[in-house]
Structure 1
Amino acid sequence: MERSKKRIAVIGTGITGLTVAYRLKKIIKEENLPLELLVLEGSIRSGGKIHTMKIGEDYLDIGAESIDIRTNHTMDLIEELNLQKEVIRSQYGKQDIYAFNKLYHIENPSYNGIPAKRSDIWKYDILSFQGKISYLKDTYLSESEVHEKTSVMDYLTARIGSELTEYVAEPYFSEIYVTDMESTSIEVLNKQIVELEQQYGDLTKAIEANPNLLDGNGNQISFKQGLETLTKALLKEVKEHVLFSKKVTEIKKSIEDTYIIDINQKEQVRVGAVIVATDPSVYRELFNDPELIDYFKDIRTTSIGYSMFSFPKGTIKNEPQGNGVLCSRRNDSHISSIVWLNKKWENLKEKEEELIGVYFGRGNEEIMLSLSNKQIEELLLKDLERILGITEEPIYHVVKRWTNSYLKSSFKNQDEKPRLLDAIKNDYPGIYLAGNGVNGFGINSCIEQGNKVSEKVIAYLKKTK
C-alpha cells in the first residue's frame, strides 16, 4: 500500500502529458524522492494533436502546425532538451487578411493586426474612413474595465473600434482553437495583453512598449523534422515509464487516499496521484461518479479540421504578401486560415510544388468534419480558387479531423470548469486535469500547465503520509 501511495500515473502522451512526465522525472531525480512514475497511452503513438507525417523527404505537420514563441515556456523547454539546432523560424512575418473578396496585407508594426502606432491606422485599406475614426476615438477615450466575463470581442471593440476588431484583430486572436469570440473571455484567451494594458495604462502604449510581441518574422517556430521532434525528445527522456496500448477505462477511489485505474477493462493498478492529460471528450468516461458526470455533461467540446494540399509549382495566381491568409468571419468561406508552407518555412522554399495547409470547421461549421474527404476537398478547392486563384487539381491531398479535441471557450464552459476542478480537488485529491483548453489554449499553454501541474503533484504527495 505504501508503494501504491507513492505511484504517479500520467494518462495521455500529448504535449501536456509528456511535459508533466518529463518534469516529474526530473524533480524525482533531483530531490531523490521515493516516487514511481507510470505513463499510460491508449494508442500506439505519442504526441496527441502534434502529428508529423513524412511525405517523400519532407516532414509535414497535420495537427498543430507551429508554435508561437512570444512567451518563454516552449523555448525554455527546447533549450533543456538541446533542440536549438533543430529549430526553424517562420518567414514573411504576417498572414494576409481575406475580406470583401480580396487580400489585405498589414505592412506596419502591429500586434495581432492592431497597429503599434495610432497614426498607422491610415494605412489600413481594409477599413472605412469611419472605421479609422472609430479606432482613434476608442483608443483615446475607452475607459472599459475588464472582468472575468469580458469577451474578446467586447474587450477589443471598446479599445480599437468595431471595424478593426471584426476584420483584422478577430482573425488573429481566434487562431485555430477558439470559435466564438463573443463568449470567450479575454482573460482566458490572452491574459498577458490584459496585464500589459493595466501596467501601461492603455492598449496602444502596451503594444508599443513591448516590441517583442509584434507580429513578424520568427514569431513562430517548428523543427526541421516537424513538431514531433519536440514530443519525441520528451518521450526519449521518459520512455522507460511509458506503456502504449494501455487505454484507461475508469478511475475510482480506493482505500487510504489511493485510486484504482482500470486499464483495457482487464488490468488494474493502484496509484496515489493521477494527471489526466487526454482529450476532454474522454473525461466523462473515466469517472463513474454521478456528481462529476453531472459536471462533465455540461462541458462542451469543439472540433477542427486540417487539410494539406500539394499543387503544381506556380499555381497560386493571387499570391499573399505574407506567409498565408486569415479569413474574416464576415465572408462565405469555409476556411478559417491558410498557411503557405513553402513561404513560411525556409526548408520547404525550393520545393517543386506549392504546399498549402488549410484549417476549417470553425464556429457552426463543425458539421463539415462529418463529410467525406472528397466532399471536403471539393468545398476547400472552391474557396482556394476564390482566395488564392488556384484552379489546378492537387497532386495530393491529406485531411485530418480533430474531433471533440478541444474544450469550448464559452462562458458556460468557463462557469462550469472551476466548479468541476473544485469538485475534483475536494472529492478526488491528487487527481488533476490538464491540457488544451483546461487553462488556456495552444502548445505554450500546454507546456506551462505541464510545468505547474507537476509541481502540484509533488507538493501533494509530500503532504500525504
Structure 2
Amino acid sequence: MEKAKKRIAVVGSGITGLTVAYRLQQTIKEQDLPYEVIVLESSIRSGGKLYTMKFGEQFIDLGAESIDTRLPDAIGLIKELELEDQVEYSQNGKPDIYAFNKLYQLDSDTYKGIPVKRTDIWKFDLISFQGKLSFLKDTYFSRTEESEEVSTRDYFAQRVGDEVAEYAAEPYISKVYSSEIDEIGIKGLNEPLFALEKEHGTITKALEAHPELIDGDGNYLTFMDGLETLTRELSERLQQNIRYSKKVTDIKKSISHTYIVDINKKEQLRVDSVVVATDSGAYNQIFSDIELSDYFKDTKMGSIGFVLFSFPKGALKNPPEGNGVLSVRRNNSYIQSIVWLNKKWAHHAQKDEELLGVYFGRSSDSIMMSLSNKQIEEAILKDLNKMLSIEVDPNYRIIKRWPNAIPQFSVNHEERTKNLNEFLEEKYPGLYLIGNGMDGFGVNNCIRQGNNTAMEVINYLKNTI
C-alpha cells in the first residue's frame, strides 16, 4: 500500500512564501519525495508588498519599488526563472538629499551616503566643518571589537560621526525601513557593511575593498512590467499548490508530530510541517499559545504610504541632479523619499509626463496614516513645491497605504529571534516563522530565508518518523 504523503503548509504567498514553496516543490520533484505543499493565502492574490498596477500601457509599482542588485539572492532567482530579458537596471546615479531647504547631490563615490574615500568628505557641502573633522577622526579608528547590539545610529555615529550618520546614512536607511535609525538595531538589518567592517578593520577600508557596493547606476532593478513579474512567475509555477481566500486563524500541535491548521474558523487541515511567511505583526492572530506569543508580543510594525503623481512635462522647476530625493528627518516633512521614475528607469524616460513616486510616513508618524486622501495629497504637494518647485496641479494621483507593513528591528532583535528559533526547535519542531519581520527586510533577504527554510523543512521531514 502506498504510504500517505507528508503535507507541508506554507502560510502566506508574498515573495517569502512563494520562494519557500517553489524550493520545496522543486526539491520534492527532484528527489521524488512523498511530500505535498499547500500554500494558504488569505487574500485573492499573491505577491504581498510586490504590488504592480497597470495604467493604460504602463505598469507602476505601488509597494516595493525596486530590488537591490548588490545582494545576490534575487538575481539568482531571476536567472533561474529565466526572467533576465524582462529586467531593467536603474540609471542616472543616485538620489539627491534634501536638507536645510536645499538639494544636495553627493558627487563623490559613496555607499548609502558614506564617502568611500576619507578625503572626499571635503566635497560634502551637506556636512559642516566640524562634522567633517569628526568623520575623519572616527573613520581612522577601528571599532570592530564591538560585540553587543547597538542602535544603527550609534553604530554609524561612532564610525563616521554624528552628522554623516544623520544627514547622509539615515536617509538611505530610512527609505527602506521607514524608521529612525536610533530605533533600529544594526544586527537586525543584515547590513553587509557590518560584516565587511569586521573583515577589513574600518568602514572606509571595507568600502575601498568592495567597489561593487558604491551608490550609482545599476544598484537597483525592476521589470518593465513591474516587480510583480517575479511573484507572478512563481505563482504560475505553483498554481496547483495555492489556495486563495484561506485565512489561517490558528495553528496548534496535534498527535504524531503533526499540526492542525484552522482556516477561516470553519475548516481544519492536518499537516506535518508549517511555514508561516506572513508579516510578524500577524503572529498574535495565528497562535493562541501564550508561551509562544510572549516572544513576539513586543513586535513593532511601521506604516508607510505611497503616492504616484503625474505632472505635466517640465513641471519640476528645481529638479534633482540624481534620480530622486531622500529627505532627512529634521526637514519636518511628510515626504520620506521621492523616486523620479522618468529618470530612474529607461522605459519611463520618454513619457510625456513627469512621474514621481512619493513615499510618506515614518514609524513615529501615526497621524499621517489617519488623514484623508485629500489631506495627504495637499500636505505632500506643499512639500513637493518646497523641494522641487512644482507649482502646477498634478494630472492625476494614486494613493496606496501600507499600514503596519514594515518591521521595526529594535535593538536586540537578533538575540530575540535566536531565542525564538531555539524555542520553536524544542517545543514546536517542524514549525518555522520567516518573512520580513524575522531575518532582515527586503526582497533579497526574503528570498534567502525562503531558500534556507525549504532545505530545513526537507531535512526535518526526512528525519521524522
TM-score by length of 1: 0.97
1:386 aligns with 2:386: yes
1:31 aligns with 2:31: yes
Amino acid paired to 2:65: E
> Given that residues 280 and 406 in structure 1 are in contact (C-alpha distance below 8 angstroms), is that contact kept between their aligned partners in structure 2?
no
Amino acid paired to 2:337: S
Deviation at 1:126, TM superposition (A): 0.7
Deviation at 1:421, TM superposition (A): 3.1
Name which of structure 1's ranges 166-175 and 66-75 shifts more when overlaid on structure 2: 166-175
> Given that residues 188 and 410 in structure 2 are in contact (C-alpha distance below 8 angstroms), is that contact kept between their aligned partners in structure 1?
no
> Given that residues 304 and 366 in structure 1 are in contact (C-alpha distance below 8 angstroms), is that contact kept between their aligned partners in structure 2?
no
Deviation at 1:364, TM superposition (A): 1.3
> Given that residues 176 and 359 in structure 1 are in contact (C-alpha distance below 8 angstroms), is that contact kept between their aligned partners in structure 2?
no
> Given that residues 96 and 326 in structure 1 are in contact (C-alpha distance below 8 angstroms), is that contact kept between their aligned partners in structure 2?
yes
Deviation at 1:112, TM superposition (A): 0.8
1:303 aligns with 2:303: yes
Alpha-carbon distance change, 255 to 143 in structure 1, aligned in 2, over 3 angstroms: closer
Cα deviations across residues 212-248 of structure 1 (Å, max 9, x unaligned)?
1100101100001000000011111111111111111
Amino acid paired to 1:116: V
Amino acid paired to 1:282: A
Equivalent residue number for residue 457 of structure 2: 457
Question: Secondary structure at 1:441's aligned position in 2?
Answer: coil
Name which of structure 1's ranges 73-82 and 275-284 shifts more when overlaid on structure 2: 275-284
Equivalent residue number for residue 50 of structure 2: 50
Name which of structure 1's ranges 8-17 and 388-397 shifts more when overlaid on structure 2: 388-397
> Given that residues 184 and 410 in structure 1 are in contact (C-alpha distance below 8 angstroms), is that contact kept between their aligned partners in structure 2?
yes
> Given that residues 66 and 220 in structure 2 are in contact (C-alpha distance below 8 angstroms), is that contact kept between their aligned partners in structure 1?
yes
Amino acid paired to 1:77: L
Equivalent residue number for residue 96 of structure 1: 96
Give 1:271-420 correspondences, 5 Å limit: 271-411=271-411, 413-414=413-414, 416-420=416-420
> Given that residues 4 and 34 in structure 2 are in contact (C-alpha distance below 8 angstroms), is that contact kept between their aligned partners in structure 1?
no
1:171 aligns with 2:168: no
1:229 aligns with 2:229: yes
Equivalent residue number for residue 238 of structure 1: 238
Name which of structure 1's ranges 59-68 and 296-305 shifts more when overlaid on structure 2: 296-305
> Given that residues 73 and 448 in structure 1 are in contact (C-alpha distance below 8 angstroms), is that contact kept between their aligned partners in structure 2?
yes
Name which of structure 1's ranges 413-422 and 102-111 shifts more when overlaid on structure 2: 413-422
Name which of structure 1's ranges 409-418 and 432-441 shifts more when overlaid on structure 2: 409-418
Equivalent residue number for residue 162 of structure 2: 162
> Given that residues 10 and 39 in structure 1 are in contact (C-alpha distance below 8 angstroms), is that contact kept between their aligned partners in structure 2?
yes
1:109 aligns with 2:122: no
Amino acid paired to 2:241: H
Name which of structure 1's ranges 350-359 and 295-304 shifts more when overlaid on structure 2: 295-304
Equivalent residue number for residue 255 of structure 1: 255
Cα deviations across residues 156-206 of structure 1 (Å, max 9, x unaligned)?
111111111111111112333241311322222144212111211211111
> Given that residues 70 and 219 in structure 1 are in contact (C-alpha distance below 8 angstroms), is that contact kept between their aligned partners in structure 2?
yes
> Given that residues 5 and 258 in structure 1 are in contact (C-alpha distance below 8 angstroms), is that contact kept between their aligned partners in structure 2?
no
> Given that residues 144 and 158 in structure 1 are in contact (C-alpha distance below 8 angstroms), is that contact kept between their aligned partners in structure 2?
no
Amino acid paired to 1:435: G
> Given that residues 250 and 286 in structure 1 are in contact (C-alpha distance below 8 angstroms), is that contact kept between their aligned partners in structure 2?
yes
> Given that residues 144 and 201 in structure 2 are in contact (C-alpha distance below 8 angstroms), is that contact kept between their aligned partners in structure 1?
no
Question: Secondary structure at 2:364's aligned position in 1?
Answer: helix
- CA distance in 2 between partners of 1:383 and 1:397 (Å): 15
> Given that residues 307 and 398 in structure 1 are in contact (C-alpha distance below 8 angstroms), is that contact kept between their aligned partners in structure 2?
yes
1:198 aligns with 2:198: yes
> Given that residues 298 and 416 in structure 1 are in contact (C-alpha distance below 8 angstroms), is that contact kept between their aligned partners in structure 2?
no
Alpha-carbon distance change, 460 to 130 in structure 1, aligned in 2, over 3 angstroms: same
Question: Secondary structure at 1:365's aligned position in 2?
Answer: coil
> Given that residues 4 and 271 in structure 1 are in contact (C-alpha distance below 8 angstroms), is that contact kept between their aligned partners in structure 2?
no
Number of aligned residue pairs: give it.
Answer: 464
- CA distance in 2 between partners of 1:454 and 1:148 (Å): 31
> Given that residues 148 and 185 in structure 1 are in contact (C-alpha distance below 8 angstroms), is that contact kept between their aligned partners in structure 2?
no
Alpha-carbon distance change, 144 to 253 in structure 1, aligned in 2, over 3 angstroms: closer
Deviation at 1:320, TM superposition (A): 0.2
- CA distance in 2 between partners of 1:25 and 1:210 (Å): 36
Deviation at 1:412, TM superposition (A): 6.1
Name which of structure 1's ranges 249-258 and 292-301 shifts more when overlaid on structure 2: 292-301
Amino acid paired to 2:105: H
- CA distance in 2 between partners of 1:5 and 1:285 (Å): 29
Question: Structure 1: which 5+ runs fail to align?
Answer: none
Deviation at 1:366, TM superposition (A): 2.7
- CA distance in 1 between partners of 2:144 and 2:170 (Å): 18
Deviation at 1:148, TM superposition (A): 3.9
Q: What is the identity percentage for the equivalent residue pairs of Structure 1 and Structure 2?
A: 55
Amino acid paired to 2:281: S
- CA distance in 2 between partners of 1:62 and 1:285 (Å): 26
Deviation at 1:142, TM superposition (A): 4.7
- CA distance in 1 between partners of 2:399 and 2:240 (Å): 33
> Given that residues 298 and 413 in structure 1 are in contact (C-alpha distance below 8 angstroms), is that contact kept between their aligned partners in structure 2?
no
Question: Secondary structure at 1:311's aligned position in 2?
Answer: strand
- CA distance in 2 between partners of 1:263 and 1:450 (Å): 23
Alpha-carbon distance change, 195 to 293 in structure 1, aligned in 2, over 3 angstroms: closer
Question: Secondary structure at 1:181's aligned position in 2?
Answer: coil
Amino acid paired to 2:82: N
- CA distance in 2 between partners of 1:95 and 1:354 (Å): 16
Equivalent residue number for residue 220 of structure 1: 220
- CA distance in 2 between partners of 1:336 and 1:211 (Å): 27
Name which of structure 1's ranges 315-324 and 389-398 shifts more when overlaid on structure 2: 389-398
Deviation at 1:425, TM superposition (A): 2.6
Amino acid paired to 2:32: N
Question: Structure 2: which 5+ runs fail to align?
Answer: none
Deviation at 1:281, TM superposition (A): 2.2
- CA distance in 2 between partners of 1:203 and 1:349 (Å): 36
Alpha-carbon distance change, 412 to 305 in structure 1, aligned in 2, over 3 angstroms: farther
Deviation at 1:331, TM superposition (A): 1.2
Amino acid paired to 1:450: G
> Given that residues 53 and 61 in structure 2 are in contact (C-alpha distance below 8 angstroms), is that contact kept between their aligned partners in structure 1?
yes
Deviation at 1:144, TM superposition (A): 6.0
Cα deviations across residues 337-394 of structure 1 (Å, max 9, x unaligned)?
1100111000000111111111111131132111111111111111111111111111
